[in-house]
């Protein structure tokens, strides 16, 4: 399960018109910057780009998980972008990417941060979840899908 404060509605953009990997990363950097007091979107973009140069963060099935370690933040921050049209992201399966989850972790990232990245990869490896996210029409819907309420709460809602 993702940390509750990892992603906020204002860090989610649906039907975005970015038409390249570069523009998608710029948009993700802007969304990530909105979720932190520091650093700037430009700094975040440069860090994401540096990470991409090590190897693409494009996975399979239209998913990319760009991420970076950043000085000056104390907790992980996420951003989500659903692109109106898939873009070439040098993905493992060579297919265009339309779902992009950006992640920033503190510079002194710990094992917990690696586990967070693994959890995101597991989440986005679920074809049903990805299909639901692609159909979502609001930021709140995406937030619910990525961070559903605990099962105990869900069970009590139906009684």
CATH 3.30.450.20 fits 9-146, yes or no: no
What are residue 157's phi and psi, to 5 degrees? -70, -25
Residue 66: how many other CB atoms lie within 10 Å = 29
Mark whether 67 is an active-site residue: yes
DSSP 71-118: TT-SS-EEEEEEEEEEE----TT-PPEEEEEEEEEETT--HHHHHHHH
CA atoms within 13 A on the CB side of 156: 4
User: What confidence tier does 152 reach under pLDDT thresholds 50, 70, 90?
Assistant: very low
CA 134 to chain centre: 14
What are residue 90's phi and psi, to 5 degrees? 55, 45
**CA atoms of 28 and 86, how far apart (whole Å):** 15
pLDDT digits (tens, 9 = 90+) for 40-57: 999 999 999 999 999 999
Domain ranges of the chain: 9-146
pLDDT digits (tens, 9 = 90+) for 98-143: 999 999 998 887 787 889 999 999 999 999 999 999 999 999 999 9
Per-residue pLDDT, 155:
44
Instruction: From the candidates 67, 82, 113, 158, give the one annotated as an active-site residue.
Output: 67
């Amino acid at each position: 399960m993702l940390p509750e404060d990892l992603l906020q509605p204002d860090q989610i953009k649906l039907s975005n018109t970015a038409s390249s990997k570069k523009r998608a990363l710029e948009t993700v950097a802007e969304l990530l910057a909105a979720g932190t007091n520091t650093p700037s979107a430009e700094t975040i973009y440069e860090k994401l780009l540096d990470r991409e140069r090590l190897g693409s963060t494009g996975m399979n099935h239209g998913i990319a998980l760009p991420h970076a370690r950043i000085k000056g933040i104390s907790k992980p921050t996420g951003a989500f972008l659903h692109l109106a049209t898939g873009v070439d992201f040098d993905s493992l399966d060579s297919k265009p990417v339309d779902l992009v989850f950006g992640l920033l972790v503190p510079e002194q990232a710990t094992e917990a941060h690696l586990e967070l990245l693994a959890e995101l990869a597991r989440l986005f490896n679920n074809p049903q979840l990805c299909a639901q996210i692609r159909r979502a029409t609001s930021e709140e819907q995406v937030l619910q899908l990525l961070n559903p309420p605990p099962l105990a709460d869900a069970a009590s809602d139906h009684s």
